[in-house]
């Protein structure tokens, strides 16, 4: 008997079903948890500005809108048609942001980025896909660039790995120093970068 694709989080149909019920399935716009998490994510970035950023798994573009103010150019992507449409509408006035439909890891772009943000989607994948994304992120990161990951730590129905599992896999394969490690009961943020620290960037050390 074949499995229901809407119960398999590494399939587009899983997210199609979620967006069919709501344009904001995770309540990004209304939950204080989500607003606070975005603020923490942005605060953990070691630089104020980036030349070219990439955010896969953009959902409805709430984090994308804020990343767009920190990047000269930003590419965001999602594998779900409705998510792409919502993000394009959300960011239509931010001309520095490009929105693409892409399913990862197979559609990882060939561009070179100085910021890659992996937020709240790796736990939907299998471990080997997370490892592939870790390699692809390193391959497309410019020298001194930043990889940030942020994920929910609690178990999620149908998911085979947790946010902690995803970050441990990234830590294993990303050959860069970890400059920021934030762990709370609900979330985890890690930042990998070979560049100078925040204080060093401003000549304080």
Mean pLDDT of the 58-69 span: 98
Mean pLDDT of the 107-136 span: 96
Is 7's pLDDT higher than 90? no
Which residues partner with 170 through β-bridges? Answer: none
For residue 82, the surrounding DSSP H or E stretch is helix 81-90
Residues 135 and 180: their CA atoms lie apart, in Å, by 20
Answer for the pair 44, 182: CB distance below 8 angstroms, yes or no. Answer: yes
For the chain, the average pLDDT equals 94
**DSSP3 helix / strand / coil % (the chain, rounded to 5):** 35, 25, 40
Percentage of residues in the chain having pLDDT higher than 90:
86
How do the domains of the chain map onto residue ranges?
Answer: 5-201
Mean pLDDT of the 70-94 span: 97
pLDDT in the model for residue 203: 87
pLDDT in the model for residue 124: 94
Mean pLDDT of the 101-107 span: 95
User: What pLDDT digit, counting tens, does each position of 17-52 carry?
Assistant: 999 999 999 999 999 999 999 999 999 999 999 999
User: What pLDDT digit, counting tens, does each position of 134-184 carry?
Assistant: 999 999 999 999 999 999 999 998 898 999 999 999 999 999 999 999 999
Tokens of 124: 């939907």
Residues 115 and 142: their CA atoms lie apart, in Å, by 8
Residues 39 and 63: their CA atoms lie apart, in Å, by 9
**Residues, the chain, total?**
205
The CATH number assigned to the domain with range 5-201 reads 3.40.50.150
Is 2's pLDDT higher than 50? no
Residues 124 and 16: their CA atoms lie apart, in Å, by 14
pLDDT in the model for residue 8: 83
Residues 58 and 85: their CA atoms lie apart, in Å, by 11
Q: Closest Cα to residue 28, out of 54, 55, 65?
A: 65
């Amino acid at each position: 008997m074949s499995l229901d694709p809407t119960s398999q989080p590494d399939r587009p149909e899983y997210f199609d079903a979620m967006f069919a019920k709501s344009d904001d399935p995770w309540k990004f716009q209304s939950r204080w948890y989500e607003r606070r998490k975005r603020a923490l994510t942005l605060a953990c970035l070691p630089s104020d500005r980036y030349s070219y950023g990439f955010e896969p798994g953009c959902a409805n573009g709430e984090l994308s809108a804020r990343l767009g103010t920190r990047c000269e150019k930003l590419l965001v992507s999602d594998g779900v048609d409705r998510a792409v449409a919502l993000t394009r509408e959300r960011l239509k006035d931010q001309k520095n942001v490009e929105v693409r439909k892409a399913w990862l890891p197979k559609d990882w772009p060939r561009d070179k980025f100085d910021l890659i943000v992996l937020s709240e989607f790796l736990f939907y994948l299998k471990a080997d896909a997370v490892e592939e994304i870790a390699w692809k992120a390193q391959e497309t990161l410019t020298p001194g660039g930043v990889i940030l990951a942020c994920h929910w730590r609690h178990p999620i129905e149908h998911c085979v790995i947790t946010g902690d599992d995803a970050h441990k896999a990234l830590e294993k394969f990303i050959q860069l120093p970890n400059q920021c490690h934030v762990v709370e009961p609900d979330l985890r943020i890690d930042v990998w970068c070979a560049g100078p620290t925040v204080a060093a960037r401003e000549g304080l050390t």
